Amino acid sequence: MHVITIGIDPHKSSHTAVAVDAAGHKVGQRRFVANAGTFTQLMRWCEQWPERRFAIEGAGGLGRTLAQQLAAVSEDASDVPSTLSARARLLATGGDRKTDPPHPDALHVAQVALFRHDLRKVTPEDQSTILRLLTERHNALINERTRITNRLHAVLRDLLPGGAPTGLTADKAAALMKGIRPITATDNCRRDIARDLLADLRRLDRQVKENEAQMRDALAASKTTLTSLPGLGTVLAARVLGHIGDISRFPTEHHFASYVGAAPLDAASGKNIRHRLNTGGNRALNSALHIIAVCQIRSPGRGQDYYLRKIAEGKTPAEARRALKRRLSNVIYRIMKRDLRGHLATAA
């Protein structure tokens, strides 16, 4: 019996599923309203094809819930990037914009999965998902803390001669506010607002500490050795693991470097051999690499030695820093591959 491929185009209010045979011909189609019973209805509809596999566009986005439900019951499901389904639409319709029936987008998703064998398999969410959620929460807390600190600076500027110094913390702000003696009703209002902002700042400080403690626990549960790399602390290690997930999806360190934007792009023309900066890739991981590189450049060690060696070879500071980021990309890849082998050996 031939395997049927079921392509799913997820939306907020509905999911469209199209089943195709081995030749890519449509053998079934149905649209499901997105609600608590969607998964049950989908599986009941799919019972007519015992030999089946699923392809979901954006299994990490709008299709995440359905993809995880399929993974939980051990269904074969693949994640189809929207860029690939857009190319399929372009070939089929002459345009890459989403269309309506009789050319359902789910059909293009299924056809991509039918002819591409390198798609990422959907796996149950694990510790890396937890780490990514925690890092996203950490970023949100830090951004909110910065906003509150700036507002407190603005209020204190009108209450204190010269305002508050830079590097304002909750304790420093509390010490400054003890000396404030409002004279007018307006200044009384400013002082009350400053007190509220100070309370918000203390609350955010507590939340940041709790978040970082959760990160440390999650990192310990992942049994990673990434934190042994100089310049890579708890927050950065959580960001790296959270965004990378399963390192085995990258066949080589070169594929990994391309994903994190650390591999320069070939810009050669004729006899003019040159490369240019890669501004693509995962920008969160590229930012993490940049921070690690800057930390290693500032401190004695192998990273600083490598950077200075590149400077001695005639590279500019920016070029030497990019070379170090590429080297760090290789190191992170090797560490994570080594950790993965260790986990597999322990499980066996």
Claim to verify: residue 173 and residue 193 sit in the same structural domain: yes
Q: What is the pTM of this model?
A: 0.79
| Residue 215, helix vs strand vs coil | helix
- What pLDDT shows up at residue 114? 87
Stretch (H or E) spanning 125: none
Claim to verify: residue 32 and residue 84 sit in the same structural domain: yes
Cα–Cα separations (whole angstroms), residue 201 to 65, 170, 179, 187, 225: 35, 6, 19, 21, 33
- What pLDDT shows up at residue 102? 44
Tens-digit pLDDT profile for residues 101-124: 544 688 989 988 888 888 888 988
Claim to verify: residue 13 and residue 100 sit in the same structural domain: yes
- What pLDDT shows up at residue 187? 92
Claim to verify: residue 243 and residue 309 sit in the same structural domain: yes
Claim to verify: residue 134 and residue 87 sit in the same structural domain: no
Tens-digit pLDDT profile for residues 50-98: 999 999 998 888 899 999 999 999 999 999 988 887 777 666 655 555 5
Claim to verify: residue 203 and residue 251 sit in the same structural domain: no
Claim to verify: residue 79 and residue 180 sit in the same structural domain: no
Tens-digit pLDDT profile for residues 303-324: 999 999 999 999 999 989 999 9
Domain count, the chain: 3
| Residue 3, helix vs strand vs coil | coil
Q: What is the mean pLDDT of the chain?
A: 89
Closest CA to 59 of 245, 319, 320: 245
Q: Of 75, 99, 121, which residue is a domain's last?
A: 121
| pLDDT(161) > 70 | yes
Claim to verify: residue 343 and residue 235 sit in the same structural domain: yes
The pair phi, psi for residue 317, each rounded to 5°, is -55, -40
Closest CA to 215 of 139, 306, 313: 139
Check if the beta carbon of residue 3 is closer than 8 Å to that of residue 27. no
What mean pLDDT comes out for the span 181-196?
93
Check if the beta carbon of residue 282 is closer than 8 Å to that of residue 171. no
Q: What is the DSSP letter of 119?
A: P
Q: Of 98, 121, 144, which residue is a domain's last?
A: 121
Claim to verify: residue 132 and residue 117 sit in the same structural domain: no
Claim to verify: residue 312 and residue 234 sit in the same structural domain: yes
Claim to verify: residue 22 and residue 68 sit in the same structural domain: yes
Structural domain harbouring 93: 4-121
User: Domain of 14: which CATH number?
Assistant: 3.30.420.40
Q: Of 222, 240, 269, which residue is a domain's last?
A: 222
Q: Beta strands 120-121 and 77-80: pairing type?
A: antiparallel
Claim to verify: residue 189 and residue 142 sit in the same structural domain: yes
The single residue listed with the structure tokens 């902002």 is 197
Q: Is there a cis peptide before residue 102, judged by omega within 30 degrees of 0?
A: yes
What mean pLDDT comes out for the span 188-205?
96
- What pLDDT shows up at residue 103? 46
